[in-house]
Amino acid sequence: MSKHVTHWIGGRAHEGAAGRRGDIHDPASGRVSGTVDLAGAGEVDAAVAAAREAFPGWRDTPLSRRVQILFRFRELLARDQDRLAELISAEHGKVFSDARGEVARGLEVVDFACGIPHLLKGGYSENVSTGVDSYSILQPLGVVAGITPFNFPAMVPMWMFPIAIACGNTFVLKPSEKDPSAAVLLAGLWAEAGLPAGVFNVVHGDKEAVDAVLEHPGVAAVSFVGSTPIARYVYRTAAGHGKRVQALGGAKNHMVVLPDADLDLAADSAVSAGFGSAGERCMAISAVAVVDSVADGLVERIRDRVSRLRVGPGDDDRSDMGPLVTREHRDKVASYLESGVREGATLAIDGRVHPVPDGDPGGFWLGPSLLDRVGPEMACYRDEIFGPVLSVLRVRDYDEAVELVNANPYGNGTAIFTNDGGAARRFQNEVQVGMVGINVPIPVPVAYYSFGGWKQSLFGDSHAHGTEGVHFYTRTKAVTARWTDPGRRPSGGVDLGFPTNG
Ligand code: NAD
Protein backbone atom coordinates (compact mmCIF):
# COMPACT_ATOMS: atom_id res chain seq x y z
CA MET A 1 0.00 0.00 0.00
CA SER A 2 1.40 3.39 -0.95
CA LYS A 3 1.99 5.80 1.93
CA HIS A 4 1.98 9.57 2.06
CA VAL A 5 4.37 11.44 4.38
CA THR A 6 3.57 14.97 5.40
CA HIS A 7 4.96 17.69 7.66
CA TRP A 8 4.72 17.85 11.47
CA ILE A 9 4.07 21.38 12.70
CA GLY A 10 2.80 22.61 16.07
CA GLY A 11 2.42 19.12 17.52
CA ARG A 12 0.48 17.45 14.69
CA ALA A 13 0.54 16.32 11.09
CA HIS A 14 0.34 19.24 8.69
CA GLU A 15 -0.72 18.64 5.08
CA GLY A 16 1.45 20.41 2.54
CA ALA A 17 -0.07 23.41 0.82
CA ALA A 18 2.73 23.89 -1.69
CA GLY A 19 1.28 21.16 -3.89
CA ARG A 20 4.65 19.67 -4.72
CA ARG A 21 5.35 16.03 -3.88
CA GLY A 22 8.34 13.73 -4.22
CA ASP A 23 8.44 9.95 -4.61
CA ILE A 24 9.79 7.61 -1.95
CA HIS A 25 11.35 4.40 -3.29
CA ASP A 26 11.90 0.91 -2.00
CA PRO A 27 15.56 0.53 -3.06
CA ALA A 28 15.33 -3.28 -2.93
CA SER A 29 12.66 -3.43 -5.63
CA GLY A 30 13.06 -0.05 -7.31
CA ARG A 31 9.32 0.57 -6.94
CA VAL A 32 7.73 3.75 -5.63
CA SER A 33 6.49 3.00 -2.11
CA GLY A 34 4.98 6.38 -1.30
CA THR A 35 5.07 10.13 -1.68
CA VAL A 36 6.29 12.99 0.48
CA ASP A 37 5.10 16.60 0.62
CA LEU A 38 7.79 19.07 -0.45
CA ALA A 39 7.55 22.32 1.47
CA GLY A 40 7.71 25.80 0.06
CA ALA A 41 8.37 29.02 1.96
CA GLY A 42 4.81 28.97 3.37
CA GLU A 43 5.21 25.66 5.23
CA VAL A 44 8.67 26.63 6.47
CA ASP A 45 7.20 29.86 7.76
CA ALA A 46 4.41 27.96 9.54
CA ALA A 47 6.98 25.65 11.20
CA VAL A 48 9.18 28.55 12.30
CA ALA A 49 6.11 30.41 13.61
CA ALA A 50 5.06 27.36 15.67
CA ALA A 51 8.61 27.02 17.01
CA ARG A 52 8.78 30.73 17.85
CA GLU A 53 5.50 30.61 19.70
CA ALA A 54 6.64 27.59 21.72
CA PHE A 55 10.06 29.07 22.56
CA PRO A 56 9.31 31.36 25.56
CA GLY A 57 7.42 28.64 27.42
CA TRP A 58 10.00 25.96 26.67
CA ARG A 59 12.96 28.20 27.56
CA ASP A 60 11.35 28.86 30.95
CA THR A 61 10.44 25.22 31.59
CA PRO A 62 12.44 24.05 34.63
CA LEU A 63 15.41 21.82 33.86
CA SER A 64 13.94 19.06 36.02
CA ARG A 65 10.79 18.99 33.87
CA ARG A 66 12.77 19.11 30.60
CA VAL A 67 14.78 16.14 31.79
CA GLN A 68 11.66 14.15 32.68
CA ILE A 69 10.43 14.60 29.09
CA LEU A 70 13.84 13.64 27.70
CA PHE A 71 13.89 10.46 29.80
CA ARG A 72 10.38 9.58 28.61
CA PHE A 73 11.41 10.22 24.98
CA ARG A 74 14.41 7.94 25.56
CA GLU A 75 12.19 5.13 26.85
CA LEU A 76 9.76 5.46 23.93
CA LEU A 77 12.65 5.42 21.48
CA ALA A 78 13.96 2.23 23.08
CA ARG A 79 10.45 0.74 22.89
CA ASP A 80 10.06 1.59 19.18
CA GLN A 81 13.62 1.07 17.96
CA ASP A 82 12.71 -1.95 15.83
CA ARG A 83 9.80 -0.11 14.20
CA LEU A 84 12.10 2.82 13.48
CA ALA A 85 14.83 0.54 12.10
CA GLU A 86 12.30 -1.18 9.80
CA LEU A 87 11.19 2.18 8.40
CA ILE A 88 14.81 3.22 7.79
CA SER A 89 15.67 -0.07 6.10
CA ALA A 90 12.58 0.14 3.84
CA GLU A 91 13.38 3.64 2.56
CA HIS A 92 17.20 3.73 2.71
CA GLY A 93 17.89 0.08 1.81
CA LYS A 94 20.42 -0.67 4.58
CA VAL A 95 20.04 -4.01 6.36
CA PHE A 96 17.87 -4.10 9.48
CA SER A 97 20.75 -4.78 11.91
CA ASP A 98 22.62 -1.76 10.55
CA ALA A 99 19.51 0.43 10.86
CA ARG A 100 19.13 -0.77 14.43
CA GLY A 101 22.76 0.20 15.09
CA GLU A 102 22.07 3.71 13.79
CA VAL A 103 19.11 4.06 16.14
CA ALA A 104 21.25 2.84 19.05
CA ARG A 105 23.90 5.49 18.33
CA GLY A 106 21.20 8.18 18.17
CA LEU A 107 19.79 6.95 21.46
CA GLU A 108 23.21 7.48 23.06
CA VAL A 109 22.91 11.19 22.28
CA VAL A 110 19.52 11.26 24.03
CA ASP A 111 21.21 9.58 27.02
CA PHE A 112 23.82 12.33 26.97
CA ALA A 113 21.17 15.07 26.71
CA CYS A 114 19.41 13.65 29.79
CA GLY A 115 22.41 14.98 31.76
CA ILE A 116 21.72 18.55 30.61
CA PRO A 117 21.39 20.14 34.09
CA HIS A 118 25.04 19.36 34.71
CA LEU A 119 26.06 20.60 31.24
CA LEU A 120 24.24 23.94 31.56
CA LYS A 121 25.99 24.99 34.75
CA GLY A 122 27.67 28.35 34.39
CA GLY A 123 30.55 29.73 36.48
CA TYR A 124 30.49 32.05 39.51
CA SER A 125 33.32 34.19 40.89
CA GLU A 126 32.83 35.97 44.17
CA ASN A 127 34.50 39.33 44.89
CA VAL A 128 35.99 40.08 41.47
CA SER A 129 36.07 43.61 42.84
CA THR A 130 35.08 44.95 46.22
CA GLY A 131 31.55 43.66 46.84
CA VAL A 132 31.17 42.69 43.19
CA ASP A 133 30.51 39.16 41.84
CA SER A 134 30.71 37.86 38.26
CA TYR A 135 28.91 34.88 36.83
CA SER A 136 28.04 33.33 33.49
CA ILE A 137 24.75 31.88 32.27
CA LEU A 138 24.21 29.60 29.26
CA GLN A 139 21.01 30.52 27.43
CA PRO A 140 19.26 28.96 24.43
CA LEU A 141 19.38 30.65 21.03
CA GLY A 142 15.70 30.45 20.06
CA VAL A 143 14.48 28.58 16.98
CA VAL A 144 17.22 26.37 15.55
CA ALA A 145 17.06 24.25 12.41
CA GLY A 146 18.60 20.95 11.32
CA ILE A 147 19.05 19.88 7.68
CA THR A 148 20.06 16.25 7.34
CA PRO A 149 21.22 13.68 4.74
CA PHE A 150 19.61 10.45 3.53
CA ASN A 151 22.22 8.08 4.88
CA PHE A 152 21.37 8.31 8.58
CA PRO A 153 17.72 9.42 8.70
CA ALA A 154 17.48 8.88 12.48
CA MET A 155 21.01 9.13 13.90
CA VAL A 156 22.11 12.40 12.29
CA PRO A 157 18.95 14.32 13.32
CA MET A 158 19.55 12.87 16.79
CA TRP A 159 23.07 14.33 16.85
CA MET A 160 21.22 17.65 16.87
CA PHE A 161 17.74 17.90 18.32
CA PRO A 162 18.06 16.11 21.71
CA ILE A 163 20.78 18.55 22.76
CA ALA A 164 19.19 21.61 21.12
CA ILE A 165 15.87 20.92 22.83
CA ALA A 166 17.47 20.02 26.17
CA CYS A 167 19.23 23.41 26.08
CA GLY A 168 15.83 25.13 25.81
CA ASN A 169 15.68 25.81 22.06
CA THR A 170 12.82 24.90 19.76
CA PHE A 171 13.63 22.94 16.62
CA VAL A 172 12.71 22.71 12.93
CA LEU A 173 14.03 19.59 11.19
CA LYS A 174 14.31 19.34 7.40
CA PRO A 175 15.24 15.68 6.85
CA SER A 176 16.23 14.11 3.54
CA GLU A 177 13.29 13.80 1.18
CA LYS A 178 14.60 10.36 0.15
CA ASP A 179 13.77 8.68 3.48
CA PRO A 180 11.49 11.08 5.39
CA SER A 181 9.42 8.68 7.54
CA ALA A 182 11.85 8.26 10.45
CA ALA A 183 11.61 11.98 11.30
CA VAL A 184 7.82 11.81 11.54
CA LEU A 185 7.97 8.76 13.81
CA LEU A 186 10.40 10.63 16.07
CA ALA A 187 8.04 13.63 16.15
CA GLY A 188 5.21 11.34 17.29
CA LEU A 189 7.40 9.96 20.09
CA TRP A 190 8.20 13.48 21.31
CA ALA A 191 4.48 14.27 21.44
CA GLU A 192 3.82 11.03 23.36
CA ALA A 193 6.64 11.95 25.77
CA GLY A 194 4.84 15.20 26.61
CA LEU A 195 6.97 17.71 24.70
CA PRO A 196 4.84 20.85 24.25
CA ALA A 197 3.48 21.43 20.74
CA GLY A 198 5.79 23.48 18.53
CA VAL A 199 9.05 22.58 20.29
CA PHE A 200 9.88 19.97 17.62
CA ASN A 201 8.69 20.41 14.02
CA VAL A 202 9.43 18.62 10.77
CA VAL A 203 9.22 20.10 7.27
CA HIS A 204 10.01 17.89 4.31
CA GLY A 205 11.41 19.20 1.09
CA ASP A 206 14.27 19.87 -1.25
CA LYS A 207 16.31 22.97 -2.14
CA GLU A 208 13.24 25.22 -1.96
CA ALA A 209 12.60 24.28 1.67
CA VAL A 210 16.31 24.49 2.55
CA ASP A 211 16.60 27.98 1.07
CA ALA A 212 13.52 29.11 3.00
CA VAL A 213 15.13 27.88 6.23
CA LEU A 214 18.49 29.51 5.47
CA GLU A 215 16.91 32.86 4.72
CA HIS A 216 14.23 32.90 7.43
CA PRO A 217 14.78 35.76 9.88
CA GLY A 218 13.17 33.72 12.68
CA VAL A 219 15.84 30.98 12.59
CA ALA A 220 18.81 31.68 14.87
CA ALA A 221 21.09 28.77 13.95
CA VAL A 222 21.44 26.01 11.38
CA SER A 223 23.08 22.60 11.76
CA PHE A 224 23.66 20.89 8.43
CA VAL A 225 25.03 17.46 7.52
CA GLY A 226 25.39 16.39 3.88
CA SER A 227 27.72 16.60 0.90
CA THR A 228 30.55 19.14 0.73
CA PRO A 229 29.18 21.37 -2.08
CA ILE A 230 25.85 21.77 -0.26
CA ALA A 231 27.57 22.18 3.12
CA ARG A 232 29.63 25.04 1.69
CA TYR A 233 26.51 26.63 0.21
CA VAL A 234 24.56 26.26 3.46
CA TYR A 235 27.43 27.71 5.48
CA ARG A 236 27.77 30.77 3.26
CA THR A 237 24.05 31.40 2.82
CA ALA A 238 23.02 30.94 6.44
CA ALA A 239 26.01 32.93 7.75
CA GLY A 240 25.15 35.65 5.21
CA HIS A 241 21.72 35.82 6.83
CA GLY A 242 23.29 36.32 10.25
CA LYS A 243 22.86 32.81 11.60
CA ARG A 244 25.19 30.63 13.62
CA VAL A 245 26.09 27.68 11.37
CA GLN A 246 27.78 24.32 11.58
CA ALA A 247 27.86 22.49 8.23
CA LEU A 248 29.34 19.00 8.12
CA GLY A 249 30.31 17.85 4.63
CA GLY A 250 31.49 14.82 2.72
CA ALA A 251 34.47 12.54 3.22
CA LYS A 252 37.19 10.41 1.73
CA ASN A 253 38.35 8.29 4.63
CA HIS A 254 41.72 6.58 4.39
CA MET A 255 42.82 3.43 6.12
CA VAL A 256 46.61 3.26 6.42
CA VAL A 257 48.06 -0.25 6.70
CA LEU A 258 51.69 -0.61 7.82
CA PRO A 259 53.73 -3.80 7.23
CA ASP A 260 53.56 -4.84 10.89
CA ALA A 261 49.76 -4.70 11.03
CA ASP A 262 47.62 -7.74 11.77
CA LEU A 263 46.55 -8.29 8.16
CA ASP A 264 43.51 -10.39 9.05
CA LEU A 265 42.24 -7.63 11.34
CA ALA A 266 43.01 -5.05 8.63
CA ALA A 267 41.14 -7.08 5.97
CA ASP A 268 38.11 -7.65 8.25
CA SER A 269 38.09 -3.93 9.01
CA ALA A 270 38.46 -2.79 5.39
CA VAL A 271 35.55 -5.01 4.34
CA SER A 272 33.30 -4.04 7.26
CA ALA A 273 34.05 -0.32 7.00
CA GLY A 274 34.13 -0.22 3.20
CA PHE A 275 30.97 -2.16 2.44
CA GLY A 276 28.77 -1.79 5.55
CA SER A 277 25.65 0.19 4.61
CA ALA A 278 26.81 -0.28 0.98
CA GLY A 279 29.54 2.31 1.62
CA GLU A 280 26.91 5.01 2.19
CA ARG A 281 28.43 6.19 5.46
CA CYS A 282 30.33 9.42 5.97
CA MET A 283 32.79 7.38 8.04
CA ALA A 284 33.08 4.53 5.51
CA ILE A 285 36.61 3.61 4.50
CA SER A 286 36.96 4.39 0.80
CA ALA A 287 40.74 4.50 0.28
CA VAL A 288 43.23 1.96 1.61
CA ALA A 289 46.83 3.23 1.66
CA VAL A 290 48.84 0.08 2.16
CA VAL A 291 52.61 -0.28 2.22
CA ASP A 292 53.61 -2.14 -0.93
CA SER A 293 55.30 -5.10 0.77
CA VAL A 294 51.97 -6.29 2.28
CA ALA A 295 49.57 -5.02 -0.40
CA ASP A 296 49.12 -8.33 -2.27
CA GLY A 297 48.42 -10.16 0.98
CA LEU A 298 45.84 -7.58 2.03
CA VAL A 299 44.03 -7.53 -1.34
CA GLU A 300 43.87 -11.36 -1.35
CA ARG A 301 42.37 -11.39 2.15
CA ILE A 302 39.80 -8.75 1.16
CA ARG A 303 38.86 -10.71 -1.97
CA ASP A 304 38.32 -13.85 0.09
CA ARG A 305 36.03 -12.07 2.55
CA VAL A 306 34.06 -10.25 -0.14
CA SER A 307 33.28 -13.50 -1.95
CA ARG A 308 31.38 -14.62 1.14
CA LEU A 309 29.29 -11.42 1.54
CA ARG A 310 25.59 -11.85 0.86
CA VAL A 311 23.97 -8.93 -0.94
CA GLY A 312 20.19 -8.80 -0.64
CA PRO A 313 17.12 -6.96 0.64
CA GLY A 314 17.54 -5.06 3.91
CA ASP A 315 14.64 -6.91 5.55
CA ASP A 316 16.20 -10.34 4.90
CA ASP A 317 18.30 -11.13 7.96
CA ARG A 318 20.68 -13.23 5.85
CA SER A 319 21.78 -10.08 3.95
CA ASP A 320 25.09 -8.44 4.86
CA MET A 321 24.63 -5.53 2.48
CA GLY A 322 21.57 -3.96 0.87
CA PRO A 323 20.99 -1.95 -2.30
CA LEU A 324 22.00 1.66 -2.91
CA VAL A 325 19.56 4.46 -2.23
CA THR A 326 18.51 5.40 -5.77
CA ARG A 327 19.01 4.15 -9.32
CA GLU A 328 20.89 7.36 -10.28
CA HIS A 329 23.25 6.97 -7.35
CA ARG A 330 23.88 3.28 -8.14
CA ASP A 331 24.69 4.17 -11.76
CA LYS A 332 27.01 6.99 -10.71
CA VAL A 333 28.88 4.75 -8.25
CA ALA A 334 29.23 2.02 -10.90
CA SER A 335 30.61 4.56 -13.38
CA TYR A 336 33.74 4.91 -11.20
CA LEU A 337 34.59 1.26 -11.92
CA GLU A 338 34.78 2.15 -15.62
CA SER A 339 36.61 5.44 -15.15
CA GLY A 340 39.06 3.82 -12.73
CA VAL A 341 40.03 1.15 -15.27
CA ARG A 342 40.21 3.76 -18.03
CA GLU A 343 42.62 5.81 -15.90
CA GLY A 344 44.89 2.82 -15.19
CA ALA A 345 43.57 1.10 -12.04
CA THR A 346 43.02 -2.67 -11.85
CA LEU A 347 39.47 -3.85 -11.16
CA ALA A 348 40.32 -6.56 -8.63
CA ILE A 349 36.69 -7.15 -7.55
CA ASP A 350 33.79 -6.24 -9.85
CA GLY A 351 30.63 -5.68 -7.83
CA ARG A 352 28.49 -5.56 -10.96
CA VAL A 353 28.74 -9.35 -11.20
CA HIS A 354 28.35 -10.08 -7.47
CA PRO A 355 25.37 -12.44 -7.05
CA VAL A 356 22.17 -11.07 -5.49
CA PRO A 357 20.31 -14.37 -5.01
CA ASP A 358 17.05 -12.94 -3.65
CA GLY A 359 17.21 -9.54 -5.31
CA ASP A 360 14.35 -8.09 -7.30
CA PRO A 361 15.82 -7.25 -10.72
CA GLY A 362 14.46 -3.70 -10.36
CA GLY A 363 16.45 -3.08 -7.13
CA PHE A 364 19.36 -0.64 -7.02
CA TRP A 365 22.02 -3.33 -6.61
CA LEU A 366 25.76 -3.04 -6.81
CA GLY A 367 28.00 -5.56 -5.07
CA PRO A 368 31.24 -4.77 -3.23
CA SER A 369 34.03 -3.69 -5.59
CA LEU A 370 37.76 -3.08 -5.29
CA LEU A 371 39.97 -0.98 -7.53
CA ASP A 372 43.66 -1.78 -7.00
CA ARG A 373 46.71 0.30 -7.98
CA VAL A 374 44.71 3.54 -7.82
CA GLY A 375 46.61 6.81 -8.20
CA PRO A 376 45.78 10.11 -6.47
CA GLU A 377 45.05 11.80 -9.81
CA MET A 378 42.21 9.40 -10.72
CA ALA A 379 38.56 10.44 -10.43
CA CYS A 380 37.77 7.36 -8.31
CA TYR A 381 40.22 8.73 -5.73
CA ARG A 382 39.51 12.45 -6.02
CA ASP A 383 35.70 12.19 -5.77
CA GLU A 384 33.65 11.02 -2.84
CA ILE A 385 32.04 7.91 -4.37
CA PHE A 386 29.74 7.13 -1.41
CA GLY A 387 29.15 3.54 -2.45
CA PRO A 388 30.63 0.04 -2.08
CA VAL A 389 33.91 0.74 -3.89
CA LEU A 390 37.26 0.45 -2.13
CA SER A 391 40.31 2.03 -3.77
CA VAL A 392 43.70 0.57 -2.89
CA LEU A 393 46.70 2.92 -3.17
CA ARG A 394 50.07 1.23 -2.78
CA VAL A 395 52.57 3.42 -0.91
CA ARG A 396 56.29 3.11 -0.13
CA ASP A 397 56.13 3.75 3.60
CA TYR A 398 54.45 5.56 6.51
CA ASP A 399 55.57 9.01 5.30
CA GLU A 400 54.03 8.60 1.86
CA ALA A 401 50.78 7.35 3.43
CA VAL A 402 50.49 10.36 5.76
CA GLU A 403 51.35 12.78 2.95
CA LEU A 404 48.52 11.27 0.91
CA VAL A 405 45.97 11.61 3.73
CA ASN A 406 47.05 15.15 4.53
CA ALA A 407 46.98 16.30 0.90
CA ASN A 408 43.38 15.14 0.52
CA PRO A 409 40.86 17.99 0.72
CA TYR A 410 38.57 16.00 3.02
CA GLY A 411 39.41 15.34 6.66
CA ASN A 412 36.52 13.49 8.26
CA GLY A 413 37.85 10.15 9.53
CA THR A 414 40.94 7.98 9.13
CA ALA A 415 42.42 4.84 10.65
CA ILE A 416 45.87 3.35 10.98
CA PHE A 417 46.51 -0.38 11.30
CA THR A 418 49.82 -1.21 12.96
CA ASN A 419 51.28 -2.97 15.98
CA ASP A 420 53.81 -0.19 16.49
CA GLY A 421 52.62 2.13 19.26
CA GLY A 422 55.17 4.78 18.29
CA ALA A 423 53.92 4.89 14.68
CA ALA A 424 50.31 5.08 15.86
CA ARG A 425 51.13 7.90 18.26
CA ARG A 426 52.97 9.80 15.54
CA PHE A 427 50.00 9.30 13.22
CA GLN A 428 47.44 10.66 15.70
CA ASN A 429 49.66 13.70 16.12
CA GLU A 430 50.48 14.38 12.47
CA VAL A 431 47.34 13.50 10.57
CA GLN A 432 45.13 16.39 9.43
CA VAL A 433 41.81 14.67 10.10
CA GLY A 434 39.14 15.22 12.75
CA MET A 435 38.47 11.62 13.86
CA VAL A 436 41.24 9.04 14.08
CA GLY A 437 41.10 5.29 14.63
CA ILE A 438 44.01 3.15 15.80
CA ASN A 439 43.26 -0.40 14.70
CA VAL A 440 39.61 0.78 14.71
CA PRO A 441 38.23 1.38 11.21
CA ILE A 442 35.17 3.54 11.94
CA PRO A 443 36.15 5.84 14.81
CA VAL A 444 32.74 7.47 15.34
CA PRO A 445 33.05 9.25 18.69
CA VAL A 446 30.68 8.28 21.48
CA ALA A 447 27.96 10.83 22.30
CA TYR A 448 29.93 12.53 25.09
CA TYR A 449 32.79 13.30 22.70
CA SER A 450 32.06 15.45 19.65
CA PHE A 451 31.72 14.36 16.02
CA GLY A 452 33.33 16.40 13.29
CA GLY A 453 35.86 16.47 10.50
CA TRP A 454 38.50 18.95 9.42
CA LYS A 455 39.16 20.74 6.13
CA GLN A 456 36.29 20.41 3.62
CA SER A 457 34.46 17.94 5.83
CA LEU A 458 33.23 20.72 8.13
CA PHE A 459 32.47 24.41 7.71
CA GLY A 460 32.15 26.25 11.01
CA ASP A 461 33.76 26.03 14.43
CA SER A 462 31.69 23.51 16.38
CA HIS A 463 31.53 19.77 15.97
CA ALA A 464 28.29 17.89 16.57
CA HIS A 465 27.03 16.57 19.94
CA GLY A 466 29.05 16.22 23.14
CA THR A 467 30.01 19.45 24.87
CA GLU A 468 30.55 21.16 21.48
CA GLY A 469 26.87 20.51 20.75
CA VAL A 470 25.90 22.22 24.01
CA HIS A 471 28.21 25.09 23.11
CA PHE A 472 26.65 25.43 19.64
CA TYR A 473 23.06 25.51 20.93
CA THR A 474 23.67 28.05 23.72
CA ARG A 475 25.17 31.47 24.13
CA THR A 476 26.89 32.78 27.15
CA LYS A 477 25.87 35.80 29.15
CA ALA A 478 28.32 37.22 31.70
CA VAL A 479 26.79 39.13 34.60
CA THR A 480 28.65 41.52 36.91
CA ALA A 481 26.60 42.25 40.04
CA ARG A 482 26.76 44.42 43.16
CA TRP A 483 24.25 44.26 45.98
CA THR A 484 24.17 46.87 48.65
CA ASP A 485 25.53 45.64 51.94
CA PRO A 486 23.53 47.36 54.74
CA GLY A 487 26.78 48.16 56.58
CA ARG A 488 28.61 49.64 53.58
CA ARG A 489 28.19 52.73 51.41
CA PRO A 490 26.95 51.54 47.97
CA SER A 491 29.02 53.97 45.92
CA GLY A 492 32.33 55.78 46.08
CA GLY A 493 30.71 58.68 44.24
CA VAL A 494 30.83 59.67 40.58
CA ASP A 495 33.87 58.30 38.68
CA LEU A 496 34.18 58.80 34.91
CA GLY A 497 37.24 56.51 34.63
CA PHE A 498 37.09 53.06 33.04
CA PRO A 499 36.06 50.52 35.70
CA THR A 500 39.07 48.84 37.32
CA ASN A 501 38.98 46.22 40.02
CA GLY A 502 40.04 46.75 43.56
P1 NAD B 1 23.07 16.08 0.14
O2 NAD B 1 24.09 17.14 0.35
O3 NAD B 1 22.62 15.80 -1.25
O4 NAD B 1 21.74 16.45 0.95
C5 NAD B 1 21.77 16.81 2.32
C6 NAD B 1 20.57 17.71 2.62
O7 NAD B 1 20.65 18.87 1.80
C8 NAD B 1 19.23 17.06 2.32
O9 NAD B 1 18.32 17.41 3.33
C10 NAD B 1 18.83 17.65 0.98
O11 NAD B 1 17.44 17.77 0.82
C12 NAD B 1 19.48 19.01 0.98
N13 NAD B 1 19.91 19.46 -0.34
C14 NAD B 1 20.28 18.67 -1.39
N15 NAD B 1 20.62 19.44 -2.45
C16 NAD B 1 20.44 20.74 -2.08
C17 NAD B 1 20.63 21.99 -2.73
N18 NAD B 1 21.06 22.06 -3.98
N19 NAD B 1 20.39 23.11 -2.04
C20 NAD B 1 19.96 23.06 -0.76
N21 NAD B 1 19.77 21.89 -0.09
C22 NAD B 1 20.00 20.74 -0.74
O23 NAD B 1 23.61 14.75 0.86
P24 NAD B 1 22.99 13.30 0.83
O25 NAD B 1 23.21 12.70 -0.53
O26 NAD B 1 21.62 13.30 1.40
O27 NAD B 1 23.93 12.57 1.90
C28 NAD B 1 25.18 12.05 1.59
C29 NAD B 1 26.30 13.04 1.86
O30 NAD B 1 26.28 13.43 3.23
C31 NAD B 1 27.68 12.46 1.64
O32 NAD B 1 28.47 13.43 1.02
C33 NAD B 1 28.18 12.17 3.04
O34 NAD B 1 29.58 12.14 3.19
C35 NAD B 1 27.58 13.29 3.79
N36 NAD B 1 27.49 13.00 5.21
C37 NAD B 1 28.38 13.63 6.03
C38 NAD B 1 28.36 13.36 7.38
C39 NAD B 1 29.33 14.02 8.31
O40 NAD B 1 29.18 13.88 9.49
N41 NAD B 1 30.31 14.77 7.83
C42 NAD B 1 27.41 12.47 7.91
C43 NAD B 1 26.51 11.86 7.04
C44 NAD B 1 26.56 12.15 5.68
Order the strands of the 389-395 sheet from edge to edge: 346-349, 369-372, 389-395, 285-291, 253-257, 413-417, 435-438
488 pLDDT band (50/70/90 cuts)? low
Average pLDDT over residues 248-258: 98
81 pLDDT band (50/70/90 cuts)? very high
- Please work out whether the CB of residue 286 comes within 6 Å of at least one atom of ligand 1: no
- Please work out whether the CB of residue 203 comes within 6 Å of at least one atom of ligand 1: no
Calculate how far, in angstroms, residue 148's C-alpha sits from the geometric centre of ligand 1: 6
Residue 245 neighbours by CB under 8 Å, 6+ apart: 221, 222, 223, 224, 234, 235, 238, 239, 459, 460
- For residue 485, what pLDDT is reported? 75
- For residue 450, what pLDDT is reported? 96
Residue 309 neighbours by CB under 8 Å, 6+ apart: 271, 275, 320, 321, 354, 367, 368
114, 167, 282, 380: the catalytic one is 282
- Please work out whether the CB of residue 156 comes within 6 Å of at least one atom of ligand 1: yes
Task: Name the strand (E) or helix (H) holding 275.
Answer: helix 263-275
Residues 182, 233: Cα–Cα separation, whole Å: 26
How distant, in Å, are the alpha carbons of 405, 411, 419 from that of 345? 19, 24, 29
Instruction: Give per-residue pLDDT as tens, 130-170.
Output: 999 999 999 999 999 999 999 999 999 999 999 999 999 99
Average pLDDT over residues 416-445: 98
Using an 8 Å Cβ cutoff, are 465 and 450 in contact?
yes
Average pLDDT over residues 354-381: 97
- For residue 493, what pLDDT is reported? 83
- For residue 59, what pLDDT is reported? 98
Average pLDDT over residues 258-278: 98
Instruction: Say if residue 17's pLDDT is above 90.
Output: no
- Which of 20, 44, 151, 215 for a ligand 1 pocket mutation test, highest count of atoms within 8 Å of Cβ? 151
320 pLDDT band (50/70/90 cuts)? very high
Strands (E), 220-360: 221-225, 244-248, 253-257, 285-291, 346-349
Instruction: Say if residue 178's pLDDT is above 80.
Output: yes
Average pLDDT over residues 400-406: 98
| Own/partner long-range contacts of 273-277 (Cβ < 8 Å, ≥24 apart) | 273/415, 273/441, 273/442, 274/368, 274/388, 274/390, 275/306, 275/309, 275/320, 275/321, 275/368, 275/388, 275/390, 276/98, 276/321, 276/442, 277/94, 277/98, 277/151, 277/321, 277/322
CA-nearest residue for atom 15, ligand 1, is 207
Instruction: Say if residue 501's pLDDT is above 90.
Output: no
Residues 447, 56: Cα–Cα separation, whole Å: 28
- Which of 152, 204, 207, 227 for a ligand 1 pocket mutation test, highest count of atoms within 8 Å of Cβ? 227
Mean pLDDT of the chain: 97
- For residue 491, what pLDDT is reported? 66
- Please work out whether the CB of residue 381 comes within 6 Å of at least one atom of ligand 1: no
Which among 145, 189, 159, 397 is positioned nearest to 290, based on CA atoms? 397
User: Quick one: which atom of ligand 1 is closest to the CA of 150?
Assistant: 26
Instruction: Say if residue 260's pLDDT is above 70.
Output: yes
- Please work out whether the CB of residue 148 comes within 6 Å of at least one atom of ligand 1: yes
Instruction: Say if residue 489's pLDDT is above 70.
Output: no
Where would I find the H helices in 60-95? 63-79, 81-92
- Please work out whether the CB of residue 441 comes within 6 Å of at least one atom of ligand 1: no
Which among 110, 84, 78 is positioned nearest to 98, based on CA atoms? 84
CA-nearest residue for atom 38, ligand 1, is 282
Residue 88 neighbours by CB under 8 Å, 6+ apart: 94, 99, 102, 103, 153, 154, 179, 182
Instruction: Give per-residue pLDDT as tens, 22-43.
Output: 999 999 999 999 999 999 999 9
Average pLDDT over residues 285-304: 98
Instruction: Say if residue 241's pLDDT is above 70.
Output: yes
Residue 312 DSSP class: -
Establish whether 167 is a catalytic residue.
Answer: no
CA-nearest residue for atom 31, ligand 1, is 227
325 pLDDT band (50/70/90 cuts)? very high
Average pLDDT over residues 203-212: 98
Residue 469 neighbours by CB under 8 Å, 6+ apart: 159, 160, 163, 164, 450, 462, 463
- For residue 280, what pLDDT is reported? 98
- For residue 215, what pLDDT is reported? 98
Average pLDDT over residues 279-290: 98
- Which of 203, 210, 235, 433 for a ligand 1 pocket mutation test, highest count of atoms within 8 Å of Cβ? 210
Question: What is the amino acid identity at position 488?
Answer: R
Question: What domains can be seen in the chain, in order of their start residue?
Answer: 3-249+457-479 (3.40.605.10), 253-438 (3.40.309.10)
Which among 184, 176, 168 is positioned nearest to 83, based on CA atoms? 184
Range from 156-160, 426-430, 498-502 carrying the lowest mean pLDDT: 498-502
415 pLDDT band (50/70/90 cuts)? very high
Instruction: Say if residue 18's pLDDT is above 90.
Output: no
